[in-house]
Structures are given as structure tokens and as C-alpha cells.
Structure 1
Amino acid sequence: MSDVKITRDGHVGIVELQRGPNNFVDIAAIDAIANAYDELDADTDCRAVVLCSEGKHFCAGANLAERVKDDGDSITQEAGRHLYQEAHRLVSNAKPVVAAIQGAAVGAGIGLALTADFRVGCPESRLSANFARQAYHPGFGTTFTLPRVVGQQKAAWMFMSGERVPGEEAREIGLLDRIVDQDLVRQTAIEMAREIAISGPLAVQGVRKTLRMGFLDGFQRATYTEHFEQSLVRPTEDFKEGVTAMNERRTPVFKGY
């Protein structure tokens, strides 16, 4: 877990992704975070978890520039399935997670943030499910998790428009639970986790299990459908244009094929 560090703050386990400044994720990163969750689940002294990252952004997404180099062959398909299998592990852990979002949570980054129970951000935070802006289908279970948090209508708009939601608005629509100054984001997340840790740990885990009943099944069903839809658009010229335009920081010109 060279890119993921685990530290402790009393009964709080802190899982830090160390791929700054942008903290792009791939299979290895998600696997490492899931392994950290497993380790903290096995530790009876840990009662709550904080998910955070070093650098400027919480997670600026996945590196789609690598995917555009291939043509959707079987190796890429297997990689996609494996990524989502690792993502499934992030929502099957037993202990509550508070995510500290100090900057961007974009694409796979917002997907990662939505696997947490609570999210702390700042005015500089910006959250975006901008998959379609790259001519790509949403993934990482976001078609299941995002509507649960902000509602079906707002989620549909975020998916189809690729809107970037700034911190203040994210708090208003429930995408962030608390908003503080940027330099206080991580500490506030730790303080929230400490508040949770005061309660009876077995009761907390039981409440979480009840509230998230069916969550894993719904998340898995969503990722299976997302993966299929992504396999249809990945070989298209529009997808190549979308990723290229993103890297060149320009408006894409899509042709519908």
C-alpha cells in the first residue's frame, strides 16, 4: 500500500491517499484503500474512519488518457471489471467513513467520495460527475449513489451537463455535510469521526448496516450496467475526442459516433 497510508487518532483510523497533487485513482489505488478498510475493520480499537488525500485535490478522477490508447479489447474489459470489484469492497466495510474533500472530487473522485457516509468540504471544493463531458458513461456506482444523496433530478442534471458544483452549493444540496475553511477540512473530518467514536461501536455499526440495507446490492447492479454501457462508448471517436479535449482544456467537438 505504498500510495495509501494508515495512521491513528485514538479510535479513529485515518486513510490517506498519497498521489498528490491530483490523486488520480486506478485499480491499485482502490485496492489499497479497500485493504486499508479491511485492516481497520479487523481492529476492534478503531470505531470510525477518515478518508483523505494529500495535495491540492481529494481526487481528480481516473486516468482516462491511458484507456483511450486501446480499442476496448478483452484486457481492458477485465481491467474495468476488476476496478469495480475493488470498488465493491469500499462499500462493504463495516465502519463509518468521513471523507475530507479539500479540492476537486471529479469523475471517479466523486464516486470515491460518495462511498463514504459523510463528506466535509470547503468553498474551494468542487464536485462533478463529468463523465458525459468526455463522451463516457458514468461509473464507479455513481448512478446509484449520487441520486441517493442529491435526488434523481439533480443527479440527472449533473450527469448530463457535467456541471461542477462548488462547495457552498454542494452543502445546500446535501452533497457535502459540512463546509469549513480549506485548511480545516481534514481536522473537521477527524472531529466528526471522533464524535461517532464516542457512541457504542456495535450500535453504530448496526445502525449503519440497517441504514445501508441493500446498498451493496444496488451498488453492484449499477456498476455492472455502467461497465456494459462504458464498453459501448469506449471504442468511439467521441470518447477519444472527449479525453483529448479534456487534456487540452478545450470544449470537445462531438460527432455522435
Structure 2
Amino acid sequence: MSDPAFVPDVHVELDGAVATVEMRRPPHNFFDIPLLQHLADAFEDLEADRRCHAIVLAAQGTAFCAGADFSNRDATPPQRSPRGVNPVYAEALRLFACGKPVVAAVHGAAVGGGLGLALVADFRVTCAEAKFSANFNRLGFHPGFGLSVTLPRLIGTQQAALMFYTGRRIGGAEAHAIGLADGLVPQDQVRAESLKLAREIATSAPLAVQSTRATLRRGLVEQIRNAVAHESTEQNAQFKTADFREGVAAMAERREPRFRGE
């Protein structure tokens, strides 16, 4: 396994058969390509480690992951890779390809791509204080990170559409009620409960769990691969619009956006 000392923003700890992969960019854990690369490297190392039967994805700080940092109105979106796919999503595909079960400990906000990251996991444990938002349309562009597949797959097309179109933030209790989260506990117990679930999974035969998981997720990685190609095409077109510039400006200025459809 890679030495976490060389990856300061991702820490990996194996305790028995359960590994904790912790993001360390508090308070918001905004992601970029290097952070996602480090997460994907950690997942791939753990997949190759026969001692690891399950993974807990957790984070320091007040947020689980607030997505990309658009708070700077001069921020520019990632450019296309030569294959036309946003390189952020190329790293996301590596995370989805991991063959071992993952529990996400969502103790705070999971917003935009941060919500996409939470949906890499098989299960999510959360708390009332957490916030979940697919806020892409509120910023003026198409959802990404494979959420056009993973969110409706989890909560149904109708609920997913509501989250996408409005960009609203929903709390942990509502997320649990609609099936976006699998466990709801006090905030200070989110990680402990996530570890408890991962350890319960890890008591089952690992080869059987992984093969069952592969059956249940059959075709999912390919669906997400196709989705991120389409999402990237839509986003690259919309990143050039006045509405995208307005969405980013409105977020930076903490005001309601004034979109004009151009």
C-alpha cells in the first residue's frame, strides 16, 4: 500500500479487515484532480490488499466534500482530456471500478461533485446536520461525476430530477427518508456507525461479497463511463455560457443568480 506520508491530503489506515480512507482538506474538502487521483490510488491499493475486506470513505473538517471550489469567481473549469472527458471524471471512474464494498461516512455537506463522490460508495451513513445537494443547474451547467446515472438509480428518476432542477439542499433526515442515505445517527457517531457497518460486511466471506457486489453492479461502470462522456460534452458547451459565469459569480457573491438562458 502507498505510504500515506507522501499523500498529505489522503490518509489510509487498515484496522483488521476494514480500511478507512480519509480526505484531509478541511474544512470543506474541495476536490481537484490530484485529490481524486490520491483517492483512486488508495482504492486500487486496497483492492489489491487481501487483508482489506471493506472500505470506509471519510473526511476531516465540517464538510464531507463540498465538490469543486467555485467560490473564486475567477475559477475556470477543468479542460477536456484528449478523449473529451473531463479529467476529474476519469479519476471518478477509477473509484467506481474498485471491487470492494465501500461505506461513506457523510458527517457534513456533500455538494455537487462531493455528492457524486458519496455515491461512489455502496452505503452512506449520515446525520441530521449533513446537507446533500446536486447544485449543478444552480451554477449554470449539466450534472457530472456520473450522477446522471447514480442518483436516479438510488432514489428514482422523479426525486433525482427534483434535486437536479432545483439544486436544493436536503438534510440528512430527508436524505435517509428518500433512500439517499442508509443510516441516520447523531453527528458524532457517523464515523463509528460507518465502521460498524463495514466491519459487519467484513465478517462475510470476502470473495462471496465481492462477487455478489459485482453481480448487483453489473454494467454500472460502463454506464457511468458513457454518462461522464455525455456529461463532459454538455458541460464543456455550458462552461462557455453567460449563465455559467453568472452562476459562479452569484455563488461567490452569496446572492440569487439571474440567469438569462444564454
**Alignment-mate amino acid for residue 58 of structure 2:** C
Q: Specify the SS of the correspondent of 1:146.
A: helix
Deviation at 1:65, TM superposition (A): 5.1
The match for 1:46 is 52
Change (3 A) 1:204 1:170: same
**Alignment-mate amino acid for residue 67 of structure 2:** G
CA distance in 2, matches of 1:225, 1:133: 19
Structure 1 segments of 4+ aligned residues over 3 angstroms from their partners: 64-70
Change (3 A) 1:210 1:147: same
The match for 2:218 is 213
Alignment of 1:219-238 (within 5 A): 219-238=224-243
The match for 2:63 is 57
Task: Indicate conservation of the 8 Å contact 2:73/2:248, yes or no.
Answer: no
Pair 1:141 & 2:143 matched: no
Task: Indicate conservation of the 8 Å contact 1:60/1:109, yes or no.
Answer: yes
> What is the aligned counterpart of 1:124 among 98, 108, 129?
129
The match for 1:6 is 12
Alignment of 1:30-109 (within 5 A): 30-64=36-70, 69-70=75-76, 76-78=79-81, 81-109=86-114
**Alignment-mate amino acid for residue 192 of structure 2:** Q
Deviation at 1:84, TM superposition (A): 1.1
CA distance in 2, matches of 1:162, 1:81: 21
> What is the aligned counterpart of 1:23 among 29, 37, 42?
29
**Number of positions where the alignment pairs a residue of Structure 1 with one of Structure 2:** 254
The match for 2:171 is 166
Q: Tell me the alpha carbon deviations over residues 180-211 of structure 1, each in whole angstroms, 9 at most, x when there is no partner.
A: 00000011000100000000000000110000
CA distance in 1, matches of 2:71, 2:174: 30
Deviation at 1:78, TM superposition (A): 2.4
Deviation at 1:64, TM superposition (A): 3.2
Deviation at 1:245, TM superposition (A): 0.7
Deviation at 1:81, TM superposition (A): 2.4
Q: Tell me the alpha carbon deviations over residues 97-129 of structure 1, each in whole angstroms, 9 at most, x when there is no partner.
A: 000000100000000001100000000011000
CA distance in 2, matches of 1:244, 1:67: 5
CA distance in 2, matches of 1:176, 1:2: 29
Task: Indicate conservation of the 8 Å contact 2:9/2:23, yes or no.
Answer: yes
Q: Tell me the alpha carbon deviations over residues 128-175 of structure 1, each in whole angstroms, 9 at most, x when there is no partner.
A: 001000111100000000000000011011100111111111001000
* Length-normalised TM-score, structure 2: 0.94
Q: Specify the SS of the correspondent of 1:116.
A: coil
Deviation at 1:37, TM superposition (A): 0.4
* Length-normalised TM-score, structure 1: 0.95
Deviation at 1:69, TM superposition (A): 4.6
**Percent identity over the alignment?**
49
Q: Tell me the alpha carbon deviations over residues 32-86 of structure 1, each in whole angstroms, 9 at most, x when there is no partner.
A: 100000111111010000000001000011123569555x7xx722296221111
**Alignment-mate amino acid for residue 118 of structure 1:** F
Task: Indicate conservation of the 8 Å contact 1:98/1:118, yes or no.
Answer: yes
Give the aligned CA root-mean-square deviation in angstroms: 1.5
The range that moved more, 241-250 or 146-155, is 241-250
CA distance in 2, matches of 1:256, 1:189: 42
CA distance in 2, matches of 1:123, 1:193: 21
**Alignment-mate amino acid for residue 62 of structure 2:** K
The match for 2:197 is 192
Q: Specify the SS of the correspondent of 1:8.
A: strand
Gaps (5+ residues) in structure 2?
1-6
Task: Indicate conservation of the 8 Å contact 1:122/1:167, yes or no.
Answer: yes
